[in-house]
Structures are given as structure tokens and as C-alpha cells.
Amino acid sequence: MAEKFKMLAKTLYGFEDLLAGELRALGASGVRTGVRCAFFEGDTGFMYKANLNLRTALRVLKPLRDFRINRADQLYDRIREVDWNQILDPDMTFVVDTVLHSDLYSHSLFVSQKVKDAIVDQVREKTGRRPSVSVSRPDVRIHIHIQKQMAHLSLDSSGDSLHQRGYRSATNIAPLNEVLAAGVLMMSGWRGQCDFLDPMCGSGTLPIEAAMIACNIPANINRQHFGFQGWKDFDPVLYKRIFEASMKHVRDFPYRISGYDRAPSAIAKARQNVENANLQEYIALDQADFFQTAKKSENPLHLVCNPPYGQRLHIEPESFYGRVGDTLKQHYPGTVAWLLLGDPEHVKQVGLRATRKIKLFNGNIESRLARFDIYQGSKKASKN
């Protein structure tokens, strides 16, 4: 039986419980949430599986050791206590990422340099040669997080952030992070149960993530590389087995996923991304002004949208969001609409009663994910 070890998956603010739920569904043990992260246990195969399948994870870290630092000059010695020859050969490349929340050091680059020096010096002393640093797809990505006097040293099994799914070759200004898009969809209750619409789809991230959820396609199926594939102990046979097992859970989707955008350039980019993701069968994209559209059928509709904040399109918030609310009320009966709004005040400006409001961050912008239920006829008639 393969040996289990502790791991840590990082995520965005507000997605901790979603991530923990994903991990449990995949079969992780010892799952518990932290701040923007979830802790869990699994074997090497599960580490591969987590990277391939998790929708709300940014990175999957494999901890090496935790240690206390009382003085800044202790870091070098603590790093040298790790046997780096088990991890790095002299002809391999590596990089060090630092997250710093400590008064012991003034800059994360200094910490990264000290860690790099300790690793290089140890390998060179034992082999006579030294590994090189590379910021472009290194063989090993090392992660150190220093919180006050506690240091947490890990190997980053993901490499590039897992929001980089591999399908998005064309973007607009301020594109929606893929992990944020997936988390918003999951929070909205989207499971592929009806028709779906993003009426301001930009480069197509929400429709693509919606299709992948509906079809249960692994989130990172289109990635060309994971960090663990550069490790000395990478097992390509095991990874192929995990990949093939994950693909067996893909299912068909009998409904329609649609996206609108009024900009021809946005629709062209979105179509390219949909093609990159091999999802043309499930997603239909059209150039259209949402304010001139109406719901196409009487069937239930799940609408999720990230309206512009004024970066890609110049808007006057009160009138713009008021028009969004009016269009939903007048032309989209029988719709559950979820809007990711870039300011808590925008919720009021929609002019509809929000039945849920969830605090999230889009980058460094404090946002609200708001739900609006648009009833068929009057609310009273709908209940009856």
C-alpha cells in the first residue's frame, strides 16, 4: 500500500469549504480548512489526482519541514539541514517562492536568495557541481512561507498556478481568474442541471468552466505540465493511470451553455478558447448586447455573469446595473441569476432583491456574489 503524507492546497478567500469538499469527494483523508487553504493527506497518486482534478485549488504543496527562526541569520542553517540531494541533482533547475509575514526580514527576495544559497552550497559540497536557478518551468519549485517566527518549507507539486488551465490563449483586459470562475459557479449551485447563460462572457472563462463542471471534465486536463513531472521520483506510469481513471468519470450534458458579448473581438477570443478546451459541442457563443436580448425558452435558466467594473468598458454604475436588473426582470423570467459585482454598492444598484450575498475578492477588489431570483409571472403566482 502506498505511503500517505500530509499536503496543503492553497485557494482564494472564501473558497476554503469548497476546496475541502472537493478533496473529500476525491478521496482525501484528514481534510481540514485553514486560511485560504485546506490541509489533507494522501499518497503520491492522490497528489497527481488532486492537481489534475481540483477546480478551486491554486497550488498543491508537499511539506518538507516546519521550523522556528529566532534570528534572521538562522534561516541558512535550517535550510541546509534538509538533504537536498534526495530532491535535486546538479543538472536540475529550481526556483524559490517566498511568502513573508514576519518582522525578521524586510523583503521576500532576500529570503529566496538565502534559501537558494543554502541549497546550492550543500549540493555543490556533496557533488562538486551546482544546480541552476530557472524561473521558466524549473524542475523543482520550492515554497517557503514565514509567518512571524515559524517557517514552513514545501515542494510545490503544481508548478505554475493551477488557475492556468491551459485552454486560454486569448484574453481581454482584466480576464476572470479560472479558479475564481469555477468557485463562483460552484457557489451558485451549478452542477449542469439546466440551460446556462453568461450574458457578458468576455473571453469565455465562465462558460468553459461551466461546461467542464457539467461534464465532470478534470479541471486541468488541458495543462501541458505539472511541477511534479520534473521531480526525481516522478512516476509516469502511475500518472497515466490516474489520468485515465479521471477521464472515465466524464459525463454527457443534455442542456445548452450560451455566452453573449457585444464586442466582436471578445467573442472571437472566447471562441478560440472554447476550441482550445475542445468544448465546441457544448458551448454556443454569439455577439449580442445583453440589454437587447431575451430568454430563449420557458425552461429553467442558470445565469452567472461577471459584469464590467469599468476597466474593459466605460460604465456609469448606477444606470448600468439598473439596466441589468430591468433586463432580467422584463426578459428573463424563470431565471436564477448570479452576478459577481465589483463593489458592495452595486448590489443595490441592480434594483432587485438579492436573496444571497457572498463576500469574495476578484484580485484585490472586494466583490459581492449576489443571487437574484427572477420568477415566472408574479412571485405569488410562482409559489402557488
Instruction: Please identify every stretch of the chain with a pLDDT value under 70, giving residue numbers as ranges.
Output: 1, 172-174, 310-314, 377-384
Q: Do 197 and 277 fall within a single domain?
A: yes
| pLDDT at residue number 5 | 96
Q: Do 205 and 138 fall within a single domain?
A: no
Domain tally for the chain?
A: 2
The C-alpha cell that represents 92 in the structure block: 536540475
Let me know if residue 169 belongs to a domain. no
Any idea what the CATH number is for the domain that residue 104 is in?
A: 3.30.2130.30
Let me know if residue 293 belongs to a domain. yes
Let me know if residue 161 belongs to a domain. no
Question: For residues 197 and 256, is the Cβ–Cβ distance under 8 A?
Answer: no
Let me know if residue 110 belongs to a domain. yes
Q: Do 55 and 183 fall within a single domain?
A: no
Count how many residues are written for the chain.
384
Residues 6+ apart with CB under 8 A from 240: none
| pLDDT at residue number 170 | 72
Let me know if residue 38 belongs to a domain. yes
Q: Do 152 and 184 fall within a single domain?
A: no
Q: Do 214 and 146 fall within a single domain?
A: no
Q: Do 26 and 122 fall within a single domain?
A: yes
DSSP helix, strand, coil percent of the chain (3-state; round to 5): 35, 25, 40
Alpha helices, DSSP H only, in 189-316?
205-214, 236-247, 264-276
Any idea what the CATH number is for the domain that residue 299 is in?
A: 3.40.50.150
| pLDDT at residue number 382 | 45
Write out the residue range of the structural domain in which residue 29 sits. 5-156
Cα–Cα dist 7/28, whole Å: 10
| Side chain identity at residue 50, one-letter code | A
Q: Do 70 and 206 fall within a single domain?
A: no
Strand 59-68 and strand 37-42: the pairing is: unpaired
| pLDDT at residue number 315 | 74
Question: For residues 215 and 48, is the Cβ–Cβ distance under 8 A?
Answer: no
> What is the share, in percent, of the chain residues with pLDDT greater than 90?
88
Let me know if residue 173 belongs to a domain. no
Condensed to tens digits (0 to 9), the pLDDT of residues 105-130 reads: 989 999 999 999 999 999 999 999 99
| pLDDT at residue number 12 | 97
| pLDDT at residue number 265 | 93
Q: Do 269 and 213 fall within a single domain?
A: yes
Q: Do 117 and 188 fall within a single domain?
A: no
DSSP string, 310-367: SSSS---HHHHHHHHHHHHHHH-TTEEEEEEESSHHHHHHT-S--SEEEEEEETTEEE
Q: Do 30 and 111 fall within a single domain?
A: yes
Condensed to tens digits (0 to 9), the pLDDT of residues 44-103 reads: 999 999 999 999 999 999 999 999 999 989 999 999 999 999 999 999 999 999 999 998
| pLDDT at residue number 381 | 43
Q: Do 263 and 361 fall within a single domain?
A: yes
